[in-house]
Amino acid sequence: MDYHANILGTIGNTPLVKINRLAEDIPALVLAKIETFNPGNSIKDRMALKMIEDAEKAGKLKPGGTIIEGTSGNTGMGLAIAAAVKGYKCIFTTTDKQSKEKIDALKAFGAEVIVCPTDVEPEDPRSYYSKSFQLEKEIPGSWKANQYDNVSNLIAHYEQTGPEIWEQTGGKVTHFIAGVGTGGTISGVGRFLKEKNPAVKIWGIDTYGSVFKKYKETGIFDKEEIYPYITEGIGEDFLPKCVDFDVIDLFEKVDDKDAALMTREIAIKEGIFVGNSSGAVIAGLRRLKGLLGPEDVVVALFHDHGSRYMGKMFNEDWLREKGFLEAKEG
């Protein structure tokens, strides 16, 4: 009989799927790495399990303990699934810009979710980032995953996602493009692929209101660049330790409107139901198509599932409210 001991055994080995209509004018072969096939419907399942397993080995997380994390939703889902299997409690802090679907999904796995304001500095005690550290200090037997600075995040993709992409493309991958949030995915995958072939290009997708692109290009952390944005899961207003800027060759910024509308186009033109950051990746790739040739093989990361965004990108009233669609008469 062929079965897994529990749901955690189904993490990884996600498929590559050719992008067709949205890549008609891109000279390269474009393949999407569809991470929605993970049990939590996102790439974050991989690093969530790795962080927990490494914490258990190090004695930082003990039976009956509480997992604490600041999350935009997907890492929390990965942690919550593993916690359900392993018998841990979960408390997550998140921001008020995250979709209601993400918050409700975390609660479905028994997690407690604390919603914090988006428009505050990370150091502000009201921020989801600071609040999670405060909870770790207050709750006995707790462990904070700290996905932004936890090297297990990066290692998960160095050990799993990168090798999968190399094997699935027969070593022919020339470009890897992904949204950058914690930085673990792009840095881990990029490190592995560049060890296999130093000529592989690693492209990061950033958003307006985030500091990554300017920091990569100038070495300057510009606080004047920071302002609230809608796109979820990518960009940041600080520099996570998991972002390896030496591995990333360039950043391209994509604004909220282009990311949202391209997310819808992926469903309409490719039949692939994915989230907001995936739309940003394809929008960014289309801007960079002039750097590609007919021999190139691009792997674009599709981070999470569209069901998390039914009240946002897939809701026409929300799109009109944000000015992303023309208002209908009458």
CATH code at position 69: 3.40.50.1100
Of 115, 144, 173, the residue that ends a domain is 144
**166 and 27 within one domain:** yes
Mean pLDDT of all residues in 152-174: 98
- Indicate whether 236 pLDDT > 70: yes
pLDDT of residue 275: 95
Cα gap 266→271, rounded to integer Å: 7
- The one catalytic residue among 18, 33, 44, 144: 44
**249 and 316 within one domain:** yes
**21 and 131 within one domain:** no
**287 and 210 within one domain:** yes
Out of 1-5, 101-105, 203-207, pick the least confident.
Answer: 101-105
Mean pLDDT of all residues in 57-71: 95
Q: Would 93 be classed as within a structural domain?
A: yes
**CB 86 within 8 Å of CB 61:** no
**253 and 192 within one domain:** yes
Assigned token pair, 291:
């750097």
Q: Would 294 be classed as within a structural domain?
A: yes
pLDDT of residue 328: 60
The DSSP call for residue 243 is -
Over the stretch 65-78, which tens digit does the pLDDT of each residue have? Answer: 999 998 878 999 99
Cα gap 89→35, rounded to integer Å: 25
Longest dimension (CA), the chain: 62
Of 121, 144, 167, the residue that ends a domain is 144
Cα gap 189→164, rounded to integer Å: 9
Is 100 an annotated catalytic residue? Answer: no
**CB 109 within 8 Å of CB 41:** no
**169 and 95 within one domain:** no
pLDDT of residue 181: 95
Over the stretch 245-297, which tens digit does the pLDDT of each residue have? Answer: 999 999 999 999 999 999 999 999 999 999 999 999 999 999 999 999 999 99
Q: What percent of the chain has pLDDT over 70?
A: 99
CB within 8 A of 247, min separation 6: which ones? 186, 187, 190, 191, 194, 202
**281 and 199 within one domain:** yes
Q: Would 211 be classed as within a structural domain?
A: yes
pLDDT of residue 123: 85
Cα gap 195→71, rounded to integer Å: 30
Q: What amino acid occupies position 18?
A: K
Cα gap 179→277, rounded to integer Å: 6
Matching residue, tokens 């989801």: 128
- Look over the chain and give the mean of its residue pLDDT values, rounded to a whole number: 95
Helix (H, G, I), strand (E, B) or coil at 67: strand
pLDDT-based confidence at 326, cuts 50/70/90? confident
pLDDT of residue 67: 97
- Indicate whether 176 pLDDT > 70: yes
- Indicate whether 60 pLDDT > 60: yes
Q: Would 76 be classed as within a structural domain?
A: yes
Split into its structural domains, the chain has a count of 2
Over the stretch 3-14, which tens digit does the pLDDT of each residue have? Answer: 999 999 999 999
pLDDT of residue 140: 94
pLDDT of residue 98: 78
- Indicate whether 329 pLDDT > 60: no
Name the pTM for this structure: 0.94
The DSSP call for residue 320 is H
Cα angle, residue 66 at apex, residues 65 and 67 outer, rounded to 5°: 125
Q: Would 2 be classed as within a structural domain?
A: no
Out of 49-63, 122-136, 181-195, pick the least confident.
Answer: 122-136
- Residue 139 sits in which domain range? 44-144
Q: Would 150 be classed as within a structural domain?
A: no
Q: Would 225 be classed as within a structural domain?
A: yes
Q: Would 261 be classed as within a structural domain?
A: yes
